[in-house]
A and B are shown apart, each in its own frame.
Chain A
C-alpha cells in the first residue's frame, strides 16, 4: 500500500469530516494554542483538569485533514487519563510518527496507529504531532505550542 492510501484511510477522513470534541469547553481551566506555520494549521485547545486527571479536552481551528483528524482522535484518547499517562501516550505518538518507536509490541496507541504511515511523509509529521504538542502545552499551562524551533519533531528525530 502506498503512503497516501495508508494515510488517507476512512478513519482519518471520517475524523476530518466530523471532528469529535470540536469547540470549546466553557470554564476550562487549561488551554493552549498550537500553530504550524508551514501548513497554516492552527488549533485552540481547551481542557478541563481536576488535579492530575484529564476530564475533557476540546479543540477548534483550521487545519489539514491529518492535523484535524489527529486532534479529534487525541481528544478522545486522553479523556479520563492521568497527566503521566497522557504524556506517555504523547511520547509514544511522537515516536511512532517520527519512526523511532518499535511498533512490534506497541499496545498503548490502539486506534492512533492509523497515523503510523505519516512517518514516511516527513513534511506531514508536524501536522500529526501538533495537537499532541498543544496538549502538552495546555497540561503545563504554556500558552502557545509550535511545530518549529525546539519543538520541531524533524530536528529532534
Chain B
C-alpha cells in the first residue's frame, strides 16, 4: 500500500489551513471521502434518484436496485449470512437505540441486568440508561486497568442468572484499546446472553466477520469509513430481528394498514420506516468497494506501523503522558501535554494546520477513570503519513515552547 497513491484519491487532503498544508488527524471522529465515493454520490444525484420500494418507473427501480446493492455490499463487508440481516440507520447511535427499543424495551424487565464496559462511548451508555430508568433494568460495568484494558476476571464475575445483554465496544474511541470481543462474546453465550458490539471505531480498520465473531448485533457508521454522513448499519442475527419489535412506525415498514391493525413488513424493512438516506447508502456502498480494493488487512497493517511510529516519536518528548497504553490498539493516540490544557493544544496545533480532537471524546467515564477533564487525541487513517506524524511532533514541541 502506497500512501501517496492513496492520498491522491482524497481531494480534501490537498487543502491548506491557516496557510499550512492540512494534517488531518481526527479520523476517529470522521474520516474523509475519496474521489470515487464523491463521484458515486454525484452520479446518484444526477442520474439515479427517486424514492425506493414504491413506484414502477425507471428511476425508482434504479434507485431501489442501487440501495439494495449497497445493502449487499455491507453484507459482504461484515460477512453476514444474509442481506436481510443488514438494517440501515442514521449511524451507530441510531443503530444502538434501535437495538435498545426493539430488543431491550421489548424483552427486558425489572431486575434484568445489562453488562457494559468502562470504555464505552456515550452512545452505548445513554440508551441503556434510558432503559434502566424506564424498566428498572440494572447496568453493570466491566472495569479497566491503568493501561485502558478491560479486566477479564472482573468481566467473568458480572454474569449471573439475571444477565440479559452484553453491550460492548470493539475499539475504544478515546483510547484506541481493541477489546478481545471474540472470547468475550463466547463467554457471554455460555450464559445464553446475546451481545451487541459497537463497531464504530473498528469497522474502518479491521476486516470483520460477524459469523466468526458470532455477535448478535454489530453497529457502525459510514462516515468513519470514508463514506458520507447520515447512514449507518445495525447488523442483527435474522432470528433475533424477526422476534424484535419495530422501532419507528411509518411507510415502508408495513405489509398492510387499516385503522384497526397493521401487519409489519419482513426484515430488514420492518426497521426502516420512512424514506431512508438513499444517496448516503449508495455512497457507503462505494466506500466499502474502495476500502476492499485497498484491502482491510493492508489498511490495518499500515495504520499499526503509523501508530507505532507516532508512539515512539511522542515518547521522545518530555512532559507528555500517553493515555491508553493497551498492547492491542487501533491507530488512536490520546495524550496530555503536562501543564497545558488539551483545548489550548488543539487551538495551537490548528494554527499549524493540524486537526486533532480535544475534549472528553463523548466518553466522560473514561476521562473520569484516568482523572483528566479531557485529552488531546490524534487518530490516524491509512492516508496519513510518517511526515504528518513528524508535523504533529513539531506542533507539540511548539505548544511546549509557548507554554514553557
Contacts and interface: CB of A to CB of B under 8 A. Distances in A.
A39 interface: yes
Given A2-B18, A40-B373, A40-B374, A64 B341 contact: yes
Nearest to A64: B341
Tier of interface size on chain A: 20 to 34
Contact of B340 (A4, A42, A65, A121): A65
Contacts of A42: 373
Nearest to B339: A17
A40 B350 contact: no
A3 to B, nearest CB: 7
Contacts of B342: 64
B359 A65 contact: no
Interface residues of B, number: 18
Contacts of B343: 39, 64, 66, 124, 127
A38 interface: yes
Contacts of A40: 359-360, 367, 373-374
A42 B367 CA distance: 15
Given A8-B348, A62-B373, A39 B359 contact: yes
A34 to B, nearest CB: 14
Nearest to A65: B344
B309 interface: no
A121 B373 CA distance: 21
A62 B348 CA distance: 19
B136 to A, nearest CB: 29
Nearest to B372: A40
A5 B344 CA distance: 12
Contacts of A7: 347
B191 interface: no
B156 interface: no
Given A38-B359, A40-B359, A62-B373, A2 B344 contact: no
A42 B350 CA distance: 24
Interface in A53-105: 62-66
Contact of A64 (B19, B344, B351, B367): B344
B402 interface: yes
Interface string B284-320: 0000000000000000000000000000000000000
A13 interface: yes
A38 B361 CA distance: 10
Nearest to B360: A40
A39 B341 contact: yes
Contacts of A38: 359
Nearest to B19: A2
14 contacts: A4-B18, A5-B351, A8-B344, A8-B347, A13-B403, A38-B359, A40-B359, A40-B373, A42-B373, A65-B344, A66-B343, A124-B343, A124-B347, A127-B343
